[in-house]
Amino acid sequence: MWRLGLRNLLRNKRRTILTASSVAVSLFLLSSLAIVYTALGKPFEGEERSPRLMVRRLSGITFSMPASYGQRIKAVPGVVAVTPMNWFGAYWKDPANTFANFAIDPNSVFDVLDTARIAPDQLEAFKRERVAAVAGRRLIEKFNWKIGDRITLMGSPYPVTPELVLRGTFTGGADDQFYFHYDYLNEAMGEFNRVGLYWIRVERPEIAARVGQAIDQTFRDTDSETKTEAEGTFLLGFISMLGNVRGIILMVGAAVTFAVLLIVANSVAMSIRERVTEAAIMRSLGFTSRHILALFVGESLILTVGGALVGVGGAKLLYDVLGLTKIGSMVWADMRMRPETFLFCMALAIILAFLSSIWPAYRAARINIAEALRFTG
């Protein structure tokens, strides 16, 4: 029956190719939406699941905390490393050259970001020189920077224009970010001694919740109460500031799914309608209604699943090759096709194949033979 189904599909090659191509393009788009949807729900956390937390003001991310909080956070049992993290929000040379840049503590940032790798001599140079900066590998490649280049950050909400020297490059984790000395920014701002975020790493993942509660308890009933969150939870909260992006993706995905259903249903219905008389002849030769039903549904499955394999497989290949890890200027995510996403898209294609073919196939299989032989389409 499968061989017969393949031969029937090849009888009208143009229709088969156009329908399969439409399914492939639609499933490619649907797979892309599914990848982004999953990535927005599971932010990238580096090569390992390091137990990192973000400490911010309870009143909101736009409010800052005293710089003195750093030592008190470090004293909380279970905390391994702490660095201040002030988002600077500048660009390089042209407003189009935007990237995530932060003022941090050079002595502890790579203790917190333990998934990153930087050459020891470059790290020492970064720590030693007040105007030194380091950049992730992706930024180095994007802007063709070299060690020793002078980089001026412009357009920041802060009323300063840092003139920095690139002293190192790191890989792993958020390697599209740029770090320079918090002390440099603090001095340029006239010792304002304020911090937007504290980025911390704890000893073990299982104590992260307890450590977070202890930190927030430390600053309870102060002028700057804190909220401590897991790194992933913090990033999801940041994404939510962009609006209900995942809801929009779901709506677009539903529209794409409905479009695929219409495309396949129209093609299958036309094919079956043209072959009602042929189905009647097959039944008169001994084929049962069940055989006819299986033949038509099988053709729909071959057509739809074949196109889906091209579309979903193409999306997987493309996103795996591109290795995208960025959503917005601050949020990074693992933009690859996970096995569950692949299986979901293929299962959806199978369901659509059944839905689009089951009713016209049932009618063709159950129609009276004499009536079918007189059928003119």
Q: Does 249 reside within a domain?
A: yes
For 297-319, give the secondary structure using H, E and C: HHHHHHHHHHHHHHHHHHHHHHH
Q: What's the predicted TM-score (pTM) here? A: 0.64
CB atoms closer than 10 angstroms to residue 66: 14
Beta strands in the chain (DSSP E): 52-57, 65-66, 79-87, 91-92, 100-104, 117-118, 132-136, 150-154, 163-171, 177-181, 194-195, 197-202, 226-230
Q: Answer whether 52's CB lies under 8 Å from 231's CB.
A: yes
The last residue of a domain, from among 223, 256, 276 = 223
Taking the chain, what is the end-to-end CA distance rounded to the nearest angstrom?
24
Same domain, 203 and 72: yes
Same domain, 73 and 216: yes
Same domain, 341 and 284: yes
Q: CA dist 238 to 60, 96, 250, 285, 377, Å?
A: 11, 22, 19, 66, 58
| Structural domain of 32 | 2-44+243-373
pLDDT of residue 46: 45
Same domain, 80 and 25: no
pLDDT of residue 182: 97
Same domain, 276 and 311: yes
Number of domains in the chain: 2
The residue written with tokens 């909220």 in the block is 227
Same domain, 15 and 143: no
For 282-298, give the DSSP string.
HHHTT--HHHHHHHHHH
The last residue of a domain, from among 223, 254, 282 = 223
From first to last of the 377 residues of the chain, give the pLDDT tens digit.
556 556 666 677 787 888 888 889 988 998 888 887 777 666 544 444 568 899 999 998 889 999 999 999 999 999 999 999 999 999 999 998 989 899 999 999 999 998 899 999 999 999 999 999 999 998 999 999 999 999 999 999 999 999 999 999 999 877 789 999 999 999 999 999 999 999 999 998 889 999 999 999 999 999 999 999 987 777 666 665 555 667 778 888 888 888 888 888 888 887 777 777 777 777 777 778 888 788 888 888 888 889 999 999 999 888 877 766 555 544 556 677 888 889 999 999 899 888 888 888 887 777 776 665 665 55
Same domain, 127 and 29: no
pLDDT of residue 273: 76
Same domain, 71 and 206: yes
Same domain, 206 and 72: yes
The last residue of a domain, from among 223, 257, 284 = 223
Length of the chain: 377
Same domain, 40 and 69: no
Q: Does 32 reside within a domain?
A: yes
Q: Does 163 reside within a domain?
A: yes
